[in-house]
């Protein structure tokens, strides 16, 4: 090896270019940091931290995996209601109570577990908290009066017309009109069967035994059919409606993607340089694609939902139009990159232009085309969720409604899990199809 001659000019050149590289290596992170700081200021992060409601986050997280049962006594009429999540569809029918509530005469005893016991009776209400003592509340002149061991801890809040107690076992509140106890339990309540179903409260073993037994609960149909229909029409969770919504979302994505691709395919020939010798027409088609992509799915969705009303078809058309623009651009690029030799070969046999396209061009671009269409199918499943929230169809609508009511967070969690599973399923389906159709494994 000959040793390189280090002329002073080379040394200074190398040093300079190193110094430049190093400056760039410092400048890029510094610019990113500066931009992020500007963004933090313009987004008002400091104000946001003050406005953030972390107690909401706590409610949300606990609601995701647990549910609460309200035990309410109307202080005027003395009527007792036990309702899951305080909803009418989760109310225990008369004569049916959870096993931790006992009623004898006008005395109601609620066992919250770990020694926490709440008693409602004619004189008022009492809450026994182990390690603290008894919280006793009696109405005097219509207002609740508290008697409890001094000093009053901060988990008991006393206002003029309301006393509330928060313990890890449950919450309790007493006001003029009613006394209420919330008991928290893990799990999603009534997920299989609601309280009014004859199957409520049965264990898996009992259900399995019922499924194979010939003693019918409902004379008209078999036990298995009864179970399926009770589950499907569950009023609390509406499994049937949710399944339909998921199907609608996938339908929107499928119809939109496929229709977009079918419309874009012939148009893309008009925009490809090697198929459309007429410059102005080519230019016009390309600008149409650009326009469609530029207007964006959001705006198409708004315009279309005015004409077609809410529903899955509006969403499907919106996806189809947006995708026509993207597919048109991608397909015409694929067309420009084809190998002309095959087309020449077909031409030499005297084929007309349609035959040349069918036998010379399509086989070449099919893999590119299919792979893009399948990729879009997967990504459009996600978009269909968002578009569904705008046009009013599919799982996106259910999700936004559940979030906007800010109450049924366990349903939100359920929909989120379903959406993630749906997208993952579509992801693996499109990956599987891509492998089968393009690489041709076994197909």
Angle at alpha carbon of residue 342, lines to 341 and 347, rounded to 5°: 95
Nearest approach in angstroms of CB 290 to other proteins is: 7
Contacts of 46 (CB under 8 A, 6+ apart): none
The answer to the question of residue 370 lying near other proteins (CB under 8 A) is no
Count the residues of the shown chain that bind other proteins, applying the rule CB under 8 A: 63
Region of 140-148, 183-191, 266-274, 307-315 interacting with other proteins (CB under 8 A): 307-315
Nearest approach in angstroms of CB 312 to other proteins is: 5
Q: Which is nearer to other proteins, 101 or 261 (CB)?
A: 261
The answer to the question of residue 368 lying near other proteins (CB under 8 A) is no
The answer to the question of residue 294 lying near other proteins (CB under 8 A) is yes
Neighbours of 182 (CB within 10 A): 18
Q: Which is nearer to other proteins, 158 or 403 (CB)?
A: 403
The answer to the question of residue 6 lying near other proteins (CB under 8 A) is no
Specify whether the CB–CB gap between 186 and 65 falls below 8 A: yes
Q: Which is nearer to other proteins, 90 or 260 (CB)?
A: 260
Nearest approach in angstroms of CB 356 to other proteins is: 18
Render 61-80 in DSSP notation, one character per residue: HHHHHEEEEEEEEETTT--E
Selected binder of other proteins within 264, 390, 397, 398 (CB under 8 A): 390
Nearest approach in angstroms of CB 247 to other proteins is: 9
Q: Which is nearer to other proteins, 51 or 76 (CB)?
A: 51
Region of 118-126, 169-177, 208-216, 296-304 interacting with other proteins (CB under 8 A): 296-304
The rounded distance, in Å, linking the Cα atoms of 380 and 253 is 5
The answer to the question of residue 303 lying near other proteins (CB under 8 A) is yes
The rounded distance, in Å, linking the Cα atoms of 193 and 228 is 10
Per-residue x/- mask for other proteins, residues 242 to 281, rule CB under 8 A? ------x--xx-xx--xx----------------------
The answer to the question of residue 72 lying near other proteins (CB under 8 A) is no
The answer to the question of residue 211 lying near other proteins (CB under 8 A) is no
Specify whether the CB–CB gap between 103 and 80 falls below 8 A: yes
Binders of other proteins in range 416-435 (CB under 8 A): 416, 419-420, 423-424, 427
What tokens were used for 368?
């590119």
C-alpha dist (Å) from residue 291 to 294, 316, 326, 329, 384: 5, 19, 10, 11, 21
Region of 116-124, 182-190, 193-201, 301-309 interacting with other proteins (CB under 8 A): 301-309
The answer to the question of residue 296 lying near other proteins (CB under 8 A) is yes
The answer to the question of residue 26 lying near other proteins (CB under 8 A) is no
Neighbours of 175 (CB within 10 A): 16
Contacts of 124 (CB under 8 A, 6+ apart): 136, 137, 138, 139, 144, 174
Specify whether the CB–CB gap between 388 and 305 falls below 8 A: no
Render 153-220 in DSSP notation, one character per residue: PTTEEE-SSEEEEEETTEEEEEESSEEEEEEEEES-TTSS--TTSTTTT--HHHHHHHHH-S--SSTT
Task: Note the residues at the interface with other proteins (CB under 8 A).
Answer: 32, 35-36, 39, 42-45, 48, 51-54, 56-57, 60, 248, 251-252, 254-255, 258-259, 290, 293-299, 302-304, 306-314, 316, 382, 385-386, 389-390, 392-393, 396, 399-400, 403, 406, 412, 416, 419-420, 423-424, 427
């Amino acid at each position: 090896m000959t040793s390189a001659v280090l002329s002073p000019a080379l040394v200074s050149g190398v040093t300079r270019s190193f110094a430049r590289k190093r400056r760039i290596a410092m400048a890029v992170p510094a610019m990113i940091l500066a931009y992020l700081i500007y963004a933090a200021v313009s987004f008002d992060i400091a104000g946001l931290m003050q406005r953030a409601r972390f107690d909401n986050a706590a409610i949300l997280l606990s609601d995701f995996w647990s549910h609460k049962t309200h035990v309410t006594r109307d202080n005027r009429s003395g009527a007792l209601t036990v309702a899951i999540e305080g909803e009418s569809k989760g109310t225990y029918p008369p004569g049916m109570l959870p096993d931790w509530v006992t009623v004898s005469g006008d005395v109601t005893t609620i066992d919250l577990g770990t020694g926490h016991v709440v008693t409602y009776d004619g004189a008022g209400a009492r809450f026994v908290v182990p390690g603290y003592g008894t919280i006793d509340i009696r109405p005097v002149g219509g207002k609740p009066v508290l008697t409890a061991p001094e000093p009053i801890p901060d988990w008991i809040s006393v206002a003029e017309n309301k006393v509330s107690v928060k313990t890890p076992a449950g919450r309790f509140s007493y006001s003029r009109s009613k006394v209420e106890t919330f008991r928290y339990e893990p799990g999603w309540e009534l997920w299989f069967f609601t309280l009014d179903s004859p199957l409520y409260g049965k264990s898996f073993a009992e259900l399995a035994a019922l499924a194979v037994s010939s003693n019918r609960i409902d004379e008209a149909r078999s036990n298995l059919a009864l179970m399926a229909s009770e589950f499907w029409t569950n009023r609390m969770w509406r499994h049937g409606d949710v399944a339909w919504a998921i199907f609608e979302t996938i339908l929107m994505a499928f119809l939109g993607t496929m229709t977009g691709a079918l419309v874009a395919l012939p148009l893309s020939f008009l925009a490809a340089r090697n198929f459309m010798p007429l410059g102005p027409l080519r230019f016009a088609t390309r600008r149409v694609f650009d326009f469609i992509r530029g207007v964006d799915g959001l705006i198409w969705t708004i315009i279309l939902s005015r004409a077609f009303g809410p529903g899955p078809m509006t969403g499907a058309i919106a996806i189809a139009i947006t995708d026509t623009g993207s597919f048109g651009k991608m397909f015409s690029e694929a067309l420009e990159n084809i190998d002309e030799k095959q087309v020449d070969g077909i031409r030499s046999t005297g084929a007309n232009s349609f035959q040349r396209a069918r036998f010379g061009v399509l086989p070449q671009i099919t893999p590119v085309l299919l792979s893009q269409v399948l990729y879009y199918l997967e990504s459009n499943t996600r978009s269909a969720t968002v578009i569904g929230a705008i046009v009013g169809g599919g799982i996106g609508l259910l999700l936004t409604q559940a979030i906007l009511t800010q109450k049924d967070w366990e349903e939100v969690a359920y929909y989120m899990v379903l959406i993630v599973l749906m997208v993952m399923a579509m992801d693996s389906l499109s990956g599987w199809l891509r492998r089968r159709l393009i690489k041709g494994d076994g197909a």
